[in-house]
Amino acid sequence: MRSSMNKKRFPINIILLYFCLISLLFIFLACGDEGETTVSSDSTTEDGGNGQIPGDTDGVQPPANGEEPPAGPEISFAKDIKPIFDASCNFQGCHGANPPSQLLLTSYDNLKKGGRSGPAFIAKNAKDSLIVKRIEPGGGMPPGGQLADEQVDKIKKWIDEGGENN
Q: Is 91 part of a structural domain of the chain?
A: yes
Q: Is 64 part of a structural domain of the chain?
A: no
For 24, residues 6+ apart whose C-beta sits below 8 A from its C-beta are none
Rounded CA Rg of the chain: 33
Task: Tell me which of 23-27, 28-32, 105-109, 160-164 is least confident.
Answer: 28-32
Q: Which DSSP state fits 148? A: P
Q: Is 55 part of a structural domain of the chain?
A: no
Q: Is 25 part of a structural domain of the chain?
A: no
Contact 94, 142 (CB under 8 A): yes
Dist. CA 21–CA 27, nearest whole Å: 10
Dist. CA 108–CA 80, nearest whole Å: 12
Q: Is 1 part of a structural domain of the chain?
A: no
If one counts the domains in the chain, the total is 1
* Tens-place pLDDT, residues 111-159: 999 999 999 999 999 999 999 999 999 889 998 888 999 999 999 999 9
What is the domain range of residue 132?
77-160
Q: Is 101 part of a structural domain of the chain?
A: yes
Q: Is 15 part of a structural domain of the chain?
A: no
* Tens-place pLDDT, residues 67-108: 776 666 789 999 999 999 999 998 888 998 888 999 999 999
**Closest Cα to residue 154, out of 163, 142, 141?**
163
Q: Is 120 part of a structural domain of the chain?
A: yes
